[in-house]
Chain A
Amino acid sequence: MAKNTSSTAFRKIDVDQYNEDNFKVDETMESLTPSSFPDEAEIISLISLGKSDEALINALKNAPFSTKNPQIKEKALRLTLKVLLSIKPSQIEEIVSRLDVEQIDTLMKYIYKGFEIPSDGSSAHLLVWHEKAFAVGGLGCIIRVLTDNKRV
């Protein structure tokens, strides 16, 4: 008879590693897309010039999807959140309407990521972003936040 214990350590064993042909995401795919990351100085200067919309598009275009370095991702995330929070709620709708589908998807990823690290008043602001981005991207863009392997 197996002994009933309250230990749950066995649940954390990665049994898949013992399977010789277990599924791995193709590495070649990852190297195909060149690693990019947003230029902090450029974005900061765009914000200070009042061109927050350009700063946002710049940050979304250069989102560091393909890098594995958590520091670069963290830095890009902080920077993008800074841009998002610097934009007044009244301007959000107009800016969102100028983004293409791909940028909306990336924006949605940053919005959800932003909910994970709330700062004072940030979540309320991000909810406004979420509402406007959802109005354009629909349920599809939320689904893509959940399914895409490339995280921000």
Chain B
Amino acid sequence: MVEKYSFGIDPIPYHAWNNNKQQIAVTPNNQEIRIYQQERNVNDWTLRDILNKHDLRVTGIDWAPKTNRIVTCSEDRDAYVWKQGSDKKWTPTQVLLRINRAATCVKWSPDENKFAAGSGARIISVCYFEQANDWWVSKHIKKPIKSTVNSIDWHPNNVLLAAGCCDFKVKIFSGFIKEIEENFPITAWGNKGNTLGNVLCEFTNSPYIGGWIHCVSFSNDGNRLCWVAHDSSISVADVSHGSPVVFKLRTDTLPFLSCLWINHNAIVAAGHGCCPMLYSVDANNQIRLVCKLDRSQKKEGSGLSAMRKFQSLDRQAKIDNDTMLETIHQNSIKSIQIYSSINSTATKLSTTGLDGQLVIWNLNVNVY
């Protein structure tokens, strides 16, 4: 069973849920962020608020579940942290990322005391709130990044930060802020993490270099990192058994734009193929396609038949052009979020894409 919703014809590149999944923040591919509330009894959405502060297209939204704050970033090179007042109105605080190109992605850290924003300026800004000055301060991770940062993800330990870039590389940085954090937790990814910007690990997407990285994602326990790239591949790096091992699967579909761990052994990836795919990763890090989440089939009788063609010409005086895709999403899927989970295994996922649809997928837990 899937639930389908539409918010108009504009693409929805990014979406984020609040903690109880009653409200969703989406951007209709412009400078606005819209907050909708789900009305279960009428199965519809009401527009609660429009957050309109950015000057250019919004490129990232993240909603912190515990502290109920929204962080957004945009092509106007700024980020805003939105807080809800007692009157339910959202008020923005500007965060200067100090970059000279568009921001491309933004993520709260798991403890929600800092966030990171990637940008086209080959910089990741790690921002934290400074009580004394009542101000968000941004610090830069700069050095070995050679191209636009497309995607970032925090390690569950609140310190490590993975970044996937257009220079075909995935890097794991330390996002350690000495002003607000005391000691650096030891992880299997390396122990050079006590200085912001230190590179702990670096992976190249392929021996043939091709394929910029679209999305990176840490698993729940933080020992596995998954990324998808433009050469239609999906890769996993694993440090469960000591030094990192990388396994890569070249798929036969169009490139994925987004990937997400749904439990320790399974990934859902979706992208230009318009269909979310479920992959499993076994103990030897072999990646294997389990199934497509989208099991819809093309409507009966949509095949080309001469009779149908002339029938339609006769009845409607036009040729029946069926341009619908077989999948539920009619255009590329840009983002995947977990909608509900039990014991750190996702049971429902939500996807939005360039067709302006929000689809909520039920995961059959028995499959993997």
Known pairs A143-B231, A147-B231; A33 contacts B250 (CB<8 A): no
CA distance A101 to B254 in the complex (A): 15
- List residues 9-35 of chain A with CB under 8 A from any CB of chain B: 21, 23-26, 29, 32-33
Residues of B within 8 Å of A65, CB to CB, are 208
Shortest B172–chain A CB gap in Å is 18
Residue pair A140, B146 in contact (C-beta under 8 Å): no
Residue pair A147, B211 in contact (C-beta under 8 Å): yes
* Binary per-residue interface labels of chain B (112-148) against chain A in the complex, 1 for a CB within 8 Å, 0 otherwise: 0000000000100000000000000000000000110
* Interface residues of B, dominant DSSP: loop
Residue on B with the closest CB to A24?
A: B146
CA distance A101 to B249 in the complex (A): 9
Residue pair B209, A101 in contact (C-beta under 8 Å): no
Residues of B within 8 Å of A94, CB to CB, are none
Residues of A within 8 Å of B157, CB to CB, are none
Residues of B within 8 Å of A141, CB to CB, are 232, 250, 252
Instruction: Tell whether B255 is near chain A: CB-to-CB under 8 Å.
Output: yes
Known pairs A23-B147, A140-B232; A147 contacts B252 (CB<8 A): no
- List residues 307-343 of chain B with CB under 8 A from any CB of chain A: none
Contact of B250 among A24, A25, A29, A105 (CB under 8 A): A105
Residue on A with the closest CB to B209?
A: A149
Residue pair B209, A138 in contact (C-beta under 8 Å): no
Residue pair A144, B253 in contact (C-beta under 8 Å): no
Residues of A within 8 Å of B220, CB to CB, are none
Residues of A within 8 Å of B212, CB to CB, are 147
Shortest A20–chain B CB gap in Å is 13
CA distance A16 to B204 in the complex (A): 24
Residue pair A149, B253 in contact (C-beta under 8 Å): no
Shortest A92–chain B CB gap in Å is 18
Residues of A within 8 Å of B167, CB to CB, are 23
CA distance A29 to B207 in the complex (A): 8
Shortest A135–chain B CB gap in Å is 10
* B residues with CB within 8 A of A: 122, 146-147, 167, 204, 206-212, 230-233, 250-255, 273
**28 chain-A/chain-B pairs, Cβ below 8 angstroms:** A21-B122, A23-B146, A23-B167, A32-B207, A33-B207, A65-B208, A102-B250, A137-B252, A138-B251, A139-B253, A139-B273, A140-B231, A140-B250, A140-B252, A140-B253, A141-B232, A141-B250, A143-B230, A143-B232, A143-B255, A144-B231, A144-B250, A147-B211, A147-B212, A148-B206, A148-B211, A149-B208, A150-B208
12 extra interface residue pairs, beta carbon distance < 8 Å, beyond A139-B232, A148-B211: A21-B122, A23-B147, A26-B204, A26-B209, A102-B250, A140-B250, A144-B231, A147-B211, A147-B230, A148-B208, A148-B210, A150-B210
